[in-house]
Amino acid sequence: MEYKAQDTGYFTEQYAGLDRSRGLRAFLLLLAMTLFALSITNLWAIYAPPKDLLGQLLHSAFSSVLTFGIVPFLFTYVQIPKGFRWSYLGLQPMRKLSRALWIKLFIGTLFALVLIAGTSYASNYLIEHWSGVWGDYLRTLQERIEEATAFIKQPTTLGIAIVRIAVISLLTGVVEELYMRGVLQPLLIRTTKSVHIGILLTALIFSLLHLAPSYLLPIFIYGLLFGYWRHYTGSLYPSMLLHILNNLLTLLVS
């Protein structure tokens, strides 16, 4: 059976197992789990701060796995009935799509990439030339974010470079998609009762979590791109692959 965008039964089938009436309560539970995980990683950073590049990478890996990897599985175990958990997360093969939908997805992807390039250039130009208090604030925030992530660009040995690629590209791409498009997006879709609003809100949260002003719009568009691939294919694997490839390209270019 091929899935077409207008198939009305797909919405219920894909997100079965999550009662809409429990949407807000489920969202608050996910938020509480996330904040608890972040508090643990922050305590580690405070009381045992990493002293070198390898330590920073290990802390980043631990933080990503705990917050974006373990939390989704715990949330799904608590909230989603047995038999629906893997499909809710999108950890299943892609649905068979119609040729027309494949074409739309690929055209949409190309259009999104053009928008990302344009908004990235425009954002950097705007922040660089914005005068006044807000301009100073955005430039200061951008500098602090770049300082905090400077370990990404540090020259190092081949072994640690491989670890860096594994953590920043592969691991981060997998667990962030597991959290954002695996748990949060279907939760917001059920809560808002709208596919498009759910995807848009997820992309907005995804963008804001990255903090860097110059990346907000490009990452928001990436979030939309990943979200629609996740929704229409019924699988998390395409968005994971796109996310990993983007992280890898960004890492190699930087």
Kindly report, residue by residue over 30-64, the tens digit of the pLDDT: 999 999 999 999 998 888 888 888 888 888 899 99
Helix or strand (DSSP H, E) at 105? helix 99-129
Considering Cα of 24, then 26, then 29, then 30, what sign does the dihedral take?
negative
Q: What is the pTM of this model?
A: 0.86
- Confidence (pLDDT) at 112: 96
Kindly report, residue by residue over 191-249, the tens digit of the pLDDT: 888 999 999 999 999 999 887 777 889 999 999 999 999 999 999 999 999 999 999 98
- The residue that leads in pLDDT, 102 or 51, is 102
Looking at the chain, how many residues does it have? 254
| Cα-only R_g, the chain | 19
- Confidence (pLDDT) at 9: 38
- The residue that leads in pLDDT, 215 or 1, is 215
Helix extents (H) in 4-98 = 9-14, 23-47, 53-64, 71-79, 85-89
- Confidence (pLDDT) at 12: 40
Domain range list for the chain: 15-81+108-253
Residue 133, Cβ density class (10 Å: 0-12 exposed, 13-18 middle, ≥19 buried): exposed
